[in-house]
Copies of this chain bind each other. A is one copy, B any other.
Amino acid sequence: MHKIINDPVHGFITIKDELIYQIIAHPDYQRLRRIKQMALAYLVYPGAVHTRLHHSLGAYHLMTLALNELRLKGTDISDEEFQAAQLAILLHDIGHGPFSHALEHSLVDMHHEELSLMIMERLNKQFNGQLDMARAIFKGTYPKRFLHQLVSSQLDVDRLDYLARDSFFTGVSEGVIGYDRIIKMLCVKDDQLLIEEKGIHSAENFLIARRLMYMQVYMHKTVLSSELMLVNILKRAKELSRTGQKLFATPALDFFLNHESDRLAFEKDEQCLKYFLELDDSDINAAIKVWSRSGDVILSDLCERLLSRKLFKVVFSDQPDRDLFAQLKNQIQVQLNLDDKDLHYYLMQEVSSNQTYHAENERIRILFKNGTELDISEVDHSLIHAGLWYQ
């Protein structure tokens, strides 16, 4: 077993493990080829059409580099743990549905991590328990905590990959990070993942790059607008379906337009997961085009607007602006002659937030040469000061 995959971001990704290869070849994983990593961001950044599969392969690659680096520095990692950590990161996003975060809780009423875990369990059965340890690492119940931190923490390989990859495919140079340097600076002490002192500037740059990517890309007004419109389209389609109207849809999409899809539903009805695993971006894309000619004025209008990129306007404000809201409400009612109960399809308020670094929750810990440790926000002369990042 020795497969090489070309990755324009990291160069070559190597697969040398039979089990890992089988997981990658599994239809549930291959499905991620048809789900875009950045949902509708390609409406602003035309290159941003890379997929969840590509990202999770990239994160698997960085995990492999990180584990090798830690072993070289003397951290004890057994072959089984090595493989399990690789599997955990490979599968960390397998629970994403169409348009990733953009439709989370809209199409299916579940968090993608819960779904990832559910699918991992399903695969684990098919693979006779070979994913037990991977699952434990993913959930954070495996004794060696640092393995979980590599999968999910302030400085995990998931974030390293998505920042590097999103910045590559959008062409936004403000997001460029030295992920290779950060990986070389990782170390483990007392079962905690730390950054060596020499890596402090790379870690700072990583935090800042993430914040700049949020402001310039992830929270770009056009991107937010298109994604909110997509959410509304699904909401309207569900509303119509549940009042008996028959809409064009693939069987899988049809199922979720007409059924409950919360955790309870997934636990009770096996069909939920089966249909979920048939969904990808194409079900939604194909439907939107057909719906743009549907009889329902609201549905067809929203779809038509999205397809022809006539998007709603987004206004940011620090606090809810009641006057503006009331004024817009009037305007829309007059222009569109909408029922009060349908107004929310055209006027909505959402909270967006940038989650760069919250010192209270999670931490980037720096290990100094003299053996002491500090949170990056406590380091003298560092750019990342509590004062700045807490505001």
How many monomers of this chain does the complex have?
Answer: 4
Q: Is there an interface contact between B46 and A54, defined as CB atoms closer than 8 Å?
A: yes
Q: Is there an interface contact between A285 and B171, defined as CB atoms closer than 8 Å?
A: no
- Choose one: B53, B57, B387; the contact of A388 (CB below 8 Å): B387
Nearest B residue to A24, CB-CB = B309
A47 within 8 A of B: yes
B-chain residues with CB within 8 Å of residue A208 when the two chains form the complex: 205, 208, 383
A4 within 8 A of B: yes
Stretch in A137-145, A175-183, A340-348 touching the partner: A175-183
B-chain residues with CB within 8 Å of residue A215 when the two chains form the complex: 201, 381
Measured in the bound complex, the distance between the Cα atoms of B73 and A87 in whole Å is: 23
Interface residues of A in 265-285 (CB under 8 A from B): 278, 280-283, 285
- Choose one: B174, B181, B252, B307; the contact of A27 (CB below 8 Å): B307
Measured in the bound complex, the distance between the Cα atoms of B318 and A380 in whole Å is: 10
Say how far A132's CB is from chain B's closest CB, in angstroms.
25
How many chain A residues have a CB neighbour from B under 8 Å?
77
Q: Is there an interface contact between A201 and B176, defined as CB atoms closer than 8 Å?
A: no
B-chain residues with CB within 8 Å of residue A54 when the two chains form the complex: 46-47, 49
Q: Is there an interface contact between A46 and B51, defined as CB atoms closer than 8 Å?
A: yes
B-chain residues with CB within 8 Å of residue A53 when the two chains form the complex: 46
A363 within 8 A of B: no
B-chain residues with CB within 8 Å of residue A135 when the two chains form the complex: none
Say how far A109's CB is from chain B's closest CB, in angstroms.
22
Nearest B residue to A177, CB-CB = B173
A332 within 8 A of B: no
**Given A47-B6, A178-B173, are A211 and B11 neighbors across the interface (CB < 8 Å)?**
no
Say how far A136's CB is from chain B's closest CB, in angstroms.
28
B-chain residues with CB within 8 Å of residue A383 when the two chains form the complex: 208, 211-212, 388
B-chain residues with CB within 8 Å of residue A4 when the two chains form the complex: 184
B-chain residues with CB within 8 Å of residue A42 when the two chains form the complex: 33, 51
A82 within 8 A of B: no
**Given A309-B25, A388-B385, are A11 and B171 neighbors across the interface (CB < 8 Å)?**
yes
Q: Is there an interface contact between A286 and B250, defined as CB atoms closer than 8 Å?
A: yes
Measured in the bound complex, the distance between the Cα atoms of B184 and A2 in whole Å is: 10
A7 within 8 A of B: yes
A301 within 8 A of B: no
B-chain residues with CB within 8 Å of residue A11 when the two chains form the complex: 171, 180
A50 within 8 A of B: yes
Measured in the bound complex, the distance between the Cα atoms of B380 and A8 in whole Å is: 29
The contact string, 1 if C-beta is below 8 Å from chain B, for chain A 22-52, is 0001010010011000000011011101110
The contact string, 1 if C-beta is below 8 Å from chain B, for chain A 353-366, is 00000000000000
Interface residues of A in 317-342 (CB under 8 A from B): 318
A297 within 8 A of B: no
Q: Is there an interface contact between A8 and B168, defined as CB atoms closer than 8 Å?
A: yes
B-chain residues with CB within 8 Å of residue A172 when the two chains form the complex: 6, 178
A216 within 8 A of B: yes
A129 within 8 A of B: no
B-chain residues with CB within 8 Å of residue A16 when the two chains form the complex: 72
B-chain residues with CB within 8 Å of residue A180 when the two chains form the complex: 11-12
**Most chain B C-beta atoms within 10 Å of own C-beta, residue among A16, A50, A73:** A50
A170 within 8 A of B: yes
The 7 closest A-B pairs by CB, nearest first: A8-B171, A282-B285, A173-B178, A286-B286, A6-B171, A282-B282, A174-B205
Further pairs besides A25-B308, A318-B380: 19, Cβ < 8 Å: A4-B184, A5-B46, A6-B45, A6-B171, A9-B171, A11-B180, A12-B184, A16-B72, A30-B309, A46-B57, A49-B54, A205-B208, A208-B208, A208-B383, A248-B250, A280-B289, A282-B289, A385-B388, A388-B388
